[in-house]
Structure 1
Amino acid sequence: MNTWIRSTLLTGIAVTLVGAAPVQNRPQVTPDMVQTGSDIPADWQAPQTGFDYVKKDVMIPMRDGVKLHTVIMIPKGAHDLPMVLERTPYNASGFAPNNAPKMKDAVWSGDTDWADGTHILVWQDIRGKYGSEGDYVMTRPPRGPLNPTQTDDTTDAYDTIDWLVKNVQGTNGRVGMIGSSYDGWTVAMALLDPHPALKVAAPESPMVDGWMGDDWFHYGAFRTGNLDYYVGQMTEAGSAPAMPRDTYDEYEYWLEGSVGDIAKKHGVDKLPFWQRLTAHPAYDAFWQLQAVDKMVADKPSSVPTIWLQGFWDQEDIYGAVHSWEALEKAGHGANNHLVIGPWWHSQINRSAWNLGPLKWNGDTAANFRQDELIPFFDQYLKDGAPTHKMPSAMIYNSAENHWDSFADWKANEDRTLTPLYLQADKRLAFDAPGVGGEDSYVSDPAKPVPYIQRPITSGDEDRWRTWLVQDQRFVADRQDVVSYTTPVLDKTVTIHGAPVADIFAKTTGTDSDFVVKLIDVYPATNPENPEMGGYQLPIAMDILRGRYRNSFSDPSPIPAGTVQEYKFRLPTVNYEVKPGHRIMVQIQSSLFPVYDRNPQKYVKNIFFAKPGDYQKATVSIEHGGTGKSAVLLPLAGG
């Protein structure tokens, strides 16, 4: 051993021995020091000193024994208060996220106006999601051919309400249901066999028919972003992240292959709902038996109901309007009301001073909630509440910037439609064209028309929410987009209802998509709002997959080079095109990547198209002669 090290060690030992303290007795351990069990008590609750409510988490049993996680917020001192229930797949606990002493501060924005101390608020996780037991099934079909069990979201709503009125202290035994999107669907399902205590309802932007015009498809064209939703919704009980991206621009990402290819790359093909959906690309019994508008008309309830929608709803623009129309046509208009506001998807539950560049007179969502929705609910939920009559239809006039009330708003089939004809030289007029003609463009699946300006980035909520009001000049110069425009108007054109695209066209391919946009073209200058000078504002637009031109349930190839009629309904509007403006109709064959690409060669199932199936095609829009293409307008008084 090194002499220095040895010397140092010996010196240290000596010092230690000389300076060592006398040995102490071992510390005494008392019973209160001993750790047993968990440090998380089973029944601990935070003190709620100064809180104006009591919050409860309960598990409510359903008829088959499955228990559903439910959050209940009860104003302190509650006596004879009604309950407002929302059933959701999006985390019931998240609707009351804040540990704040005041109920208004504890809830999310959509419930602030309800948290006034005069309502008991209830949120529930549906089966299999977040804190609830059971199996999750996407928009679980009602009991019957597609659901052989004895439970569905109708029975779960019934059982939940039954438990609430029997077990919640301080309630008057009356319940209202509300919810948007998927939560709006749960409201509609509850109406198929409502509990007697369910006194009023408001499905907001409800998912009603996923094939015709809500989340999954629009007239057969698939909405690609659903893949991210399926991964987030169906890979765990909570919420999973979206699919990973290896490109910045979504446009490039979705060009990598068919939707089926991308689904397989990310494991989406293993999800049961994806397998069911892709096995039924046409409107067969799988979709028809889940169409809620048909179900509520077949089994109408007596519950007073507001069917609520946004004009520019980028996700569920179809359901509320068609449900209300179905009930109205079936003779049940007296207790059903239609409301359409100037909103994006679910904006009714947030602030709504504007929609993109469009500015409103006040917060249209908050004003509606406070002045119309809550008073409408309260008249059925509270003794002595004032009567609050709602018109048959209450629809915002975006051009005039105010609400219009209608005692006789008609279902579209009951309206007289006026053709606005496509003409030679890209003109548009109410007069029928003379001799026939056509305008052609080349549609290339390798270079589809983007729905907003590129780059299109994943997670850009602001652009996603407002894409339906984006200025359409960004595609005006593309060679695969054709636009027809009226002269400057000298009088107002008022549109009440749903325009119908009636396009005659031929293609060199054997399949094709047709996107039709009805647009208000602003004057070239606008001194009060310069950025709106020349703005091309979409009033209504939609897409039809050409294979379904004759039948939604039985697709067929398009005969190449043969003129065919493509007729489909656009979203409902209440709009005035002012003097000095022009009306434009814009037509194209892709709207990407909101909708998947049509190969333009007929294949049995577009989800699984091969690279060689994607082909260029020349599309010719006919006008005049026997092919009088037009957009049919429901004009005021029609």
Structure 2
Amino acid sequence: MSLDEAYWQSALPEATFVDFEVEKEIYVPMRDGVRLSTDVYLPTGADGKLPTVLVKTPYDKDVGEGSVRTKWVDYFARQGYAVVVQNERGLLLSEGSFDNYLQGASTDGSDTVDWIVRQSWSNGRVGTIGCSSSGEHQWAMASGNNPAHSAMVPGSSGTAVGNLPGNDTRGAFYRGGIPMLANWALWYGRYVPTERLMLPSGSTQEERQRIRAYFALSGRRGWRPDSPERLRHLPSKDVLREAGGPLTPFDDYMTRTPADHAWDEVEFIGAGDEPRVPALHINSWHDLASGETTRLFAYLQSLNTPDQYLIMGGGPHCAIWQELPYQITKALAKEMFAGMTTTEMDATPAPDMRSFTFGDLELGDVRYRGVDHGYPKLYLAWFDKWVRGRENGITDMPKVQLFIMNQGWVGADTWPLPRTVPTTYHLTEDPDAWRRNEAGGLSTDSPANDLVDSFVYDPMNPTPSLGDELGFHAAIDQRPVSARRDVLVYSTPQLEHAVTVVGPIKVDLHVSTSVKDTDFIVRLVDVYPDGRAINLAHDGLRLRYRDGFDAPEPAEEGTVYQIVLPNMVTGNRFLEGHRIRLEIASSSFPMYERNLNTGGNNFDETEGVVARNSVHYGAVHGSSITLPILPD
């Protein structure tokens, strides 16, 4: 990677400015008259016009992304940038209403950029940065191609992705038409209520500053609506009501289907959008929406969109976002470790990215290798190129950079990687399987016999989730779940040679059921020689949508249906002695909303029906998983 060494020696070792000044609670007007709560940080003593970094966020500006304590304000202001942090409309002290996800994201973002470039301190260029929701809003904004929006760094932002080719998840709200219950109950319930305390009209900047300094703006810190006990409540559309939470868009979303045209009102980035803003697509393999991130990158690549770069790291949602010395700070960790006391928080060390473990997965050194081993240095170089106007060679890096778990970093210029070989592993009979509490095997050879494996799925005793939630500990040993009678397990023999899987994964199944509707959930697992079974990716399909989300049909008892589950993606090296495993169940609760098997609406029902579900495989009804294998 050819980066200008003189640039790094001059720009990075020390901050250019020792301090900065802040003006809080500026009301910036949008085109419809709504005013958004905005803070402006300027480096003390800076002369001339400044490049600007903008963080738009739904979170408390004094606690979440964009605060001084999470380093971005401090980091960029000390490097000579103006930093603007703004709350989204309808949230905290911003005016307006939050009636929909990404409410006003496209126009509000562009209007804010226009306001910035009119300021006396602006050089006329703005870069945007942020992770999770602070990354997602950047995509709607970029779709408008404001000429002053010069660069962007959206992290873990796949939930902004809508109807792209091959993506039918409505911003990761669904997997195969199944609502992702736990994640969205938590996010909507805690962070973005429709109901909130309102400021009196005509409030002054000084009044807003005093209110913000005195009152807690971020809601009930220890309140978690996503506990399994609370999410067991039926009907599922009322889980936030039962938990005592305020009204949110989630209440409406749970009553929709994936084909509901009401989803079109959400400002997802989708087919037809052609953003031209130079972008670093940053995510990690265990993120909720890693598949959406890679599919968006592939879509923009198909349009020959210039200056798009994909970086997939190791770890869960936003964990790689800030690394040594800009790790996950305690301000951000307080959100993730919700429910801990302050004393417990202070006693919890930030993860060391040089030897990073989350849950039961040991990743080793996950630091970014491309730019002097640091994501923050990468982001600074990116903005220095596009927002400050310095030529530093940053665009010479590979378009695609991937941290392969159990291996390390690889680079290429396209996604999926051009050298990967789609390799099909068939579900097959394994005479020794039952001794290992499994259903069968996985083999690259086609099976000769026709077989069927069945299990009983009781929605009142659903197969539980173990890992895969939004949070730090997403990679968990699956053995307690794998041993259940309502889970089918198919594994290869111990590998004689390592197998590297990088890219999108497709599962083809032939299934049948005894009820009118049910779900099928699949999970890719890396089985270690000591028996640990680490989850890598998951997907699901609600059987009524087997012919399309706009054509739901009840199932007929005993009829065999072919279904395809295309949403999994990973980058993992299955080492010698490991086994590749596919697990199949009919629930993963509370991560997925459980199907009550009645064939009804599901979201408004309180009684379930027990299902006998079957997976068929063999010469006639072949079931398989296709893995993109990267040759050594």
* TM-score (normalizing by structure 2): 0.79
- The residue number in structure 1 matching 2:509 is 503
- The residue number in structure 1 matching 2:54 is 85
- The residue number in structure 2 matching 1:286 is 262
Q: Secondary structure at the match of 1:87?
A: strand
Aligned partner (choices 400, 403, 415) of residue 396 of structure 1: 403
Q: Secondary structure at the match of 2:118?
A: helix
* TM-score (normalizing by structure 1): 0.78
Cα distance between partner residues in 1 of 2:223 and 2:319: 28
Cα distance between partner residues in 1 of 2:82 and 2:449: 67
Cα 1:572/1:291, change in 2 over 3 Å = farther
Q: Which amino acid aligns with 1:71?
A: D
Cα drift, residue 562 of structure 1: 0.9
Q: Secondary structure at the match of 1:419?
A: strand
Aligned partner (choices 28, 34, 38) of residue 66 of structure 1: 34
Q: Which amino acid aligns with 2:594?
A: R
Q: Which amino acid aligns with 1:421?
A: H
Say if 1:483 and 1:584, in contact at 8 Å, map to a contact too. Answer: yes
- The yes-or-no answer on 1:487 pairing with 2:466 is no
- The yes-or-no answer on 1:430 pairing with 2:430 is no
Say if 1:329 and 1:411, in contact at 8 Å, map to a contact too. Answer: no
- The residue number in structure 1 matching 2:359 is 356
Q: Which amino acid aligns with 1:74?
A: L
Cα distance between partner residues in 1 of 2:410 and 2:65: 34
Cα drift, residue 112 of structure 1: 5.0
- The residue number in structure 2 matching 1:5 is none
Cα distance between partner residues in 1 of 2:21 and 2:570: 44
Cα drift, residue 209 of structure 1: 4.1
Cα drift, residue 410 of structure 1: 2.7
Aligned partner (choices 273, 284, 288) of residue 299 of structure 1: 273
- The yes-or-no answer on 1:130 pairing with 2:92 is yes
Q: Which amino acid aligns with 2:422?
A: L
Cα distance between partner residues in 2 of 1:427 and 1:515: 18
Cα distance between partner residues in 1 of 2:380 and 2:160: 24
- The residue number in structure 2 matching 1:12 is none
Cα distance between partner residues in 1 of 2:489 and 2:64: 45
Cα distance between partner residues in 2 of 1:327 and 1:464: 26
Cα drift, residue 56 of structure 1: 1.0
Q: Secondary structure at the match of 1:465?
A: coil
User: 1:567-611: CA deviations, max 9, x gaps?
Assistant: 1113322222122111111111110111221011211x1101232
Say if 1:251 and 1:450, in contact at 8 Å, map to a contact too. Answer: no
- The residue number in structure 2 matching 1:324 is 297
Aligned partner (choices 311, 315, 321) of residue 285 of structure 2: 311
Cα distance between partner residues in 2 of 1:51 and 1:494: 46
Q: Secondary structure at the match of 1:377?
A: helix
Q: Tell me, which stretches of 5 or more residues in structure 1 are unaligned?
A: 1-49, 99-105, 142-151, 454-461, 525-533
Cα 1:362/1:121, change in 2 over 3 Å = farther
Matches for 1:192-207 after TM superposition, within 5 Å: 192-206=143-157, 207=159
Say if 2:426 and 2:623, in contact at 8 Å, map to a contact too. Answer: yes
Cα 1:109/1:548, change in 2 over 3 Å = farther
- The yes-or-no answer on 1:240 pairing with 2:219 is yes
Cα distance between partner residues in 2 of 1:71 and 1:111: 10
Cα 1:188/1:59, change in 2 over 3 Å = same
Cα distance between partner residues in 1 of 2:569 and 2:303: 20
- The yes-or-no answer on 1:630 pairing with 2:624 is yes
Matches for 1:221-620 after TM superposition, within 5 Å: 221-225=178-182, 226-232=184-190, 233-234=192-193, 235-236=195-196, 238-241=217-220, 250-265=227-242, 271=247, 273-274=249-250, 276-287=252-263, 290=266, 292-295=268-271, 298-313=272-287, 315-332=288-305, 334-350=306-322, 351=327, 353=353, 354=356, 355-362=358-365, 364=367, 367-389=373-395, 390-400=397-407, 402-410=408-416, 417-425=422-430, 426-452=440-466, 465-524=471-530, 534-603=531-600, 605-611=601-607, 614-620=608-614
Q: Secondary structure at the match of 1:500?
A: strand
Q: Which amino acid aligns with 2:415?
A: W
Identity in percent: 27
Cα distance between partner residues in 2 of 1:209 and 1:51: 39
Say if 1:209 and 1:287, in contact at 8 Å, map to a contact too. Answer: no
Q: Tell me, which stretches of 5 or more residues in structure 2 are unaligned?
A: 1-16, 163-167, 198-216, 328-350, 431-439
Cα 1:88/1:609, change in 2 over 3 Å = same
Cα drift, residue 435 of structure 1: 1.4
Aligned partner (choices 174, 191, 194) of residue 217 of structure 1: 174
Cα 1:479/1:492, change in 2 over 3 Å = same
Say if 1:452 and 1:467, in contact at 8 Å, map to a contact too. Answer: no
- The residue number in structure 2 matching 1:15 is none
Q: Which amino acid aligns with 2:124?
A: G
Cα distance between partner residues in 1 of 2:471 and 2:248: 29
User: 1:264-291: CA deviations, max 9, x gaps?
Assistant: 54577x8472454244223232335647
- The residue number in structure 2 matching 1:191 is 142
Report the aligned-residue RMSD. Answer: 2.9
- The residue number in structure 2 matching 1:156 is 108
- The yes-or-no answer on 1:117 pairing with 2:79 is yes
- The residue number in structure 2 matching 1:529 is none
Q: Which amino acid aligns with 1:595?
A: Y
Cα 1:581/1:274, change in 2 over 3 Å = closer
Say if 2:309 and 2:400, in contact at 8 Å, map to a contact too. Answer: yes
